[in-house]
Chains A and B, each alone.
Chain A
Amino acid sequence: MTLRTKIESGKFIVCAEIEPPKSSNGDVIRRKAGQLDGIVDAVNLTDNQTAIVHLSSIAAAKILLEEGLEPIMQMTCRDRNRLGIQSDLLGAAALGIHNVLCLTGDHQKFGDQPEAKGVFDLDSIQLVAMVDQLNKGRLLSGQEMKQATGFLIGAAANPFAKPFEMRLIRLHKKIQAGARFIQTQPVFDLPLFTRWMERVVDQGLHENCAILAGVMPIRTAKTIEYMRLNVSGIKINEDHIRRLNSSSDPESEGVSIAVETINTLKEIKGLRGIHLMPARWLDSVPVIVREAGLKSIN
């Protein structure tokens, strides 16, 4: 079963994220894929995340396909213009990659090469619209293609950034442009997320689009501090820092926090799945999936 059929059948979706390496070593991806095999429904491959050069998400997604897992290729607008993005999307489709997550991308200032020129020829909403047009068999130039692409289009949402209402407008625009699944920024603030989901359900935005809540397992208070300083759009829960600092076994405390978060999320009306973002702690994913009772595959 593909991610598309799973979403259409209403199954509770579990995704996880792999960072491609900062080198040409594809075995890193194969090893990480092995850890997730049979655990999750699909795996995100990040596209030069935090504006630092990594192995390309297309190549990483292809490796994942070869390993028998289902990739979600992330595509940002920071590094390519409309020509580059279209050609990369056609290439990805030819390689058998059929899930794409459309993102604007972190600003190059946050990476290790702030000297770079940011492209931002499109924004994420325009990218969603463009992929949708490719799916209808037309390039952005208007030229008809002999073979249309068949991408399942995803996009991101950050329910925690201000202004709250503007985030719903953005979500609305992404769905109207063609997004069929949404992965949110990691949830640390459960009450705010619950309030956001209530609004999403009120407005019927969950009907044509599967909302997957981001969950980030964290094992040390130091990681939290790092996230706070270096990763955009993340809101931190002070209570988690306290729990991790006072625990004698922070790793299992980190797993517990993630499992508790997932258990609360599962009860939220309209939520269709979980997206695990285990920044540098992939080992935690199988444990969390098991302990949270997220029986995934097939």
Chain B
Amino acid sequence: MTPEISTREKAPLTQGEKTLSNLLLLFENAIKIPLFRCQRCGECILSSTAFICSQRCPKQLRNGPCGGTGEDGSCEVYPARTCVWYRIYYRSQLLGRIDLLYKYNRIHNWCLDKTSSWLNVLRKRIEPPIPFTRHDKQAVE
């Protein structure tokens, strides 16, 4: 069975889950927005992006930078900003987390937008990124 390349929508949230989601979201936002500039996609991949939110990218890329990163690491769309994926790469290097950049992040489920990522993990509405085998054939876990 090949893994799903997109995050599929499971059954809709029950009323109880919605209440819990909103409650959790209060805490989640209070932590993630100031710390990681979280964009509240509800399908958090911070753990594989060296704790920098990739969704600040103007193209909301989830699998690495586009071809427009400047010589100085600037974003081509907003040149005053640094490309988020440029920062993710160098921080991953610093933290020894380069392996995680090889993972495939699934096509986003927009039904999860502005919901609690923590609840979505708990309720198994989102799954971890797909590990791709590295070029040196060593499995990335």
| CB of A140, distance to nearest CB on chain B (Å) | 6
SS of B interface (majority): loop
- Contact between chains at B5 and A162 (CB < 8 Å): no
A248 to B60, CA, bound (A): 47
Contact of A245 with B by CB under 8 A: no
| A107, B78: Cα distance in complex, Å | 11
Q: Which of A161, A176, A232 contacts B133 (CB 8 A)?
A: A176
Contacts of B66 in A (CB 8 A): 104, 232-233
Best-buried of A82, A130, A156, A161 by chain B (most CB within 10 Å)? A161
A64 to chain B, nearest CB (A): 25
Minimum CB distance partner of A207 in chain B = B135
Interface residues of A in 133-161 (CB under 8 A from B): 133, 136, 140, 142, 156-158, 161
Q: Pick the contact of A126: B63, B67, B90 (CB < 8 A).
A: B63
The answer to the question of A166 belonging to the interface, with a C-beta cut-off of 8 Å to chain B, is: yes
**What is the CA–CA distance of A204 and B132 in the complex, to the nearest angstrom?**
15
In the complex the two chains form, is B107's CB within 8 Å of A126's CB?
yes
User: Beta-carbon contacts of B52-66 to A below 8 Å, as 1s and 0s?
Assistant: 000000111111111
Are B58 and A107 interface neighbours, CB within 8 A?
yes
| Of A122, A158, A162, A170, most B-chain CB atoms within 10 Å | A162
- Tell which of A106, A136, A170, A203 touches B64, judged by Cβ atoms closer than 8 Å: A170
A172 within 8 A of B: yes
Chain B's closest residue to A235 (CB) is: B71
The answer for the CA separation of A203 and B102 in the assembled complex, in Å, is: 14
B6, B86, B102: which contacts A173 (Cβ < 8 A)? B102
Asked whether A118 is an interface residue with its Cβ less than 8 Å from the other chain, the reply is yes
Nearest Cβ on chain A to B17's Cβ, whole angstroms:
24
Kindly state the separation between the CA atoms of A157 and B8 in the bound complex, as whole angstroms: 29
> Contact residues of B with A, CB < 8 Å?
2, 4-6, 8, 58-73, 76-77, 85-86, 89-90, 98, 101-102, 104, 106-108, 110, 132-136
Question: Do residues A162 and B8 form an inter-chain contact, with CB atoms below 8 A?
Answer: no
- List 25 interface pairs A-B (beta carbons < 8 Å), by A numbering: A104-B59, A104-B66, A109-B58, A123-B63, A129-B104, A130-B6, A130-B107, A140-B5, A156-B67, A157-B67, A161-B67, A161-B70, A162-B69, A162-B73, A163-B89, A166-B64, A169-B101, A172-B102, A172-B135, A173-B63, A173-B104, A203-B135, A203-B136, A205-B135, A235-B71
Q: What residues of B have a CB within 8 angstroms of the CB of A122 in the complex?
A: 107
Given contacts A82-B107, A176-B132, A204-B135, contact A232 B76 (CB under 8 A): yes
Could you say which of A107, A142, A205 has the most chain B C-beta atoms within 10 Å of its C-beta? A107
